[in-house]
Amino acid sequence: MRNYEFTVIFDANEDQTAKGLELVLAEFTTAQVEITKQEDMGVKNLAYPIKKQDKGHYYFFELKADPSVINGFNNTFKLMTPLLKFLFVNKDTQV
């Protein structure tokens, strides 16, 4: 298991944010990902429009997961409409 940071931007609409968060947490539960930290960073203005949206609701997670699971999430999350953008960062990599 490796440590990851996961940042996601949902549609700023409250219903879409709730739906997107529910989908993400369900995927994490199914894949047996351990969430060590979850932070709601609130609604912020985007630097540029994403999917015709100028605001997004940010969430930050710290996770423990297998690398193969993370690769699967990249494909799955691209298809979820409430997610505007997301990024996984491997915290175990040293520069």
Q: Say if residue 8's pLDDT is above 70.
A: yes
The structure tokens listed for 29 are: 């539960």
For the stretch 64-87, pLDDT in tens is: 998 889 888 888 898 888 899 999
Average pLDDT for 3-16 = 94
16-53 residue pLDDT tens: 999 999 999 999 999 999 999 999 999 999 999 999 99
Domains and CATH numbers, the chain: 2-90 (3.30.70.60)
Report the distance separating Cα 86 and Cα 74, nearest Å.
9
CB 62 within 8 A of CB 5: yes
Task: State the pLDDT at residue 94.
Answer: 63
Task: Answer for the pair 5, 91: CB distance below 8 angstroms, yes or no.
Answer: yes
